[in-house]
Amino acid sequence: QQQVKQSPQSLIVQKGGISIINCAYENTAFDYFPWYQQFPGKGPALLIAIRPDVSEKKEGRFTISFNKSAKQFSLHIMDSQPGDSATYFCAASSRRGSTLGRLYFGRGTQLTVWP
Amino acid sequence: EAGVTQSPTHLIKTRGQQATLRCSPISGHTSVYWYQQALGLGLQFLLWYDEGEERNRGNFPPRFSGRQFPNYSSELNVNALELEDSALYLCASSLTGANEQYFGPGTRLTVT
DSSP 8-state assignment for residue A42: S
Q: Which domains does chain A have, with CATH numbers?
A: 4-114 (2.60.40.10)
On chain B, the residues whose CB falls within 8 A of the CB of A103 are 33, 35, 43, 45, 101
Range name among A83-87, B38-42, B44-48, B107-111 with the lowest pLDDT average = B38-42
Residue in B97, B112, B85 with CA at minimum distance from that of residue B21: B85
pLDDT at B75: 98
Mean pLDDT in residue range B13-41: 95
Mean pLDDT in residue range B65-81: 98
B62-65's contacts with Cβ under 8 Å and 24+ in sequence apart are none
B64 CB within 8 Å of a chain A CB: no
Chain B residue nearest residue A107, CA to CA? B42
Residues A53-68: pLDDT tens digits? Answer: 999 999 999 999 999 9
Ranges of chain A whose pLDDT falls below 50 = none
* CA atoms of A8 and A110, how far apart (whole Å): 8
pLDDT at A20: 98
Mean pLDDT in residue range B77-95: 97
Q: Which domains does chain B have, with CATH numbers?
A: 5-100 (2.60.40.10)
Does A101 contact B50 at a Cβ distance shorter than 8 Å? yes
